[in-house]
Structure formats: structure tokens, C-alpha cells
Amino acid sequence: MLACKLLAVAVPVYLAGYYWLFPWLRRYARTANCIYFGEISALQLLAYGVFVGIPLSMALLVWLIEGARSVRVWKLGQHPLPGEKVLRKTRYRYGAAARLRPLAVFAILIILAGAAIWGGFQAPGLIAEIGPCESLR
């Protein structure tokens, strides 16, 4: 039942992305250096959105889904947490064995934050490489 619910959400999101979002994004990327929103070009929004915004939003999503729980598991050193519902019979793990999953979550958060910082330094170079708008094609 859980898989059916996930598929009911995932399939429409995938199809909307494949048939609407990605073709629109390709067209937008071709002319982004010619569009301005005040002092900010659409190319700047696109570059910083891809290189900084996506990793930060993924880190935020991971934190919202697993962050607080991982902190509690790390503090208590017990997995699953006391009183937590599980889908099947699960043995309690204590100590270092219980802290492996929170450690993986924290590592993913650090990697995503590092990717966003790295992207913040890469985006200006990409923008300078593309240059100003010559003409709309």
C-alpha cells in the first residue's frame, strides 16, 4: 500500500518534469543571458539556482525528513527510538551501531552544503564565460 501511495505521487511528478519542466528549462537556458529582472540577469538566477539553490534545497529536504530524528538517535544512542512505530519487528541497536545512520545523514548534509559553497564559487565563472546577450535566436 505504501508503494502504491508513493507511485501515485512520483509518477505524475516525473511526467510533469519530463514533458513540461525540462523542455521549458532548455528553452529558458538558451535565452537566459538576454532576460533581466532589474539588475539581475536570468542567467545569474539560473546559474546560482542550479549550483547553489539545488544543493541547499536538497540539504533542507534531508534535514526536514531525517534531521531532528537523527539528532535524537545520536543523543540517545538507540535505534529505533523509544516508542517509535516501525513497519516490521526490529531489533534495538545501541551505541555505535545505532549511530551509523545519523552519521550518514550528517555526512550527506555536509556534502550538500559543501557542494552549495563550491557552486557559489563556480557560478560567477560560468556567467563570465557565457558573456552578455548578443541577440535572441
Predicted confidence (pLDDT) per residue in 35-47, tens digit: 889 888 899 999 9
Question: Which of the four pLDDT bands, split at 50, 70 and 90, describes residue 134?
Answer: low
Q: Is 91 left (phi over 0), alpha (psi -120 to 50) or beta?
A: beta
Helix pair angle (68-76, 100-130), 10° resolution = 140
pLDDT of residue 1: 87
State how far the Cα of 76 lies from the Cα of 70, in Å rounded to an integer: 10
Global pTM reads 0.76
The total of other beta-carbon atoms located within 10 Å of residue 102's CB is 20
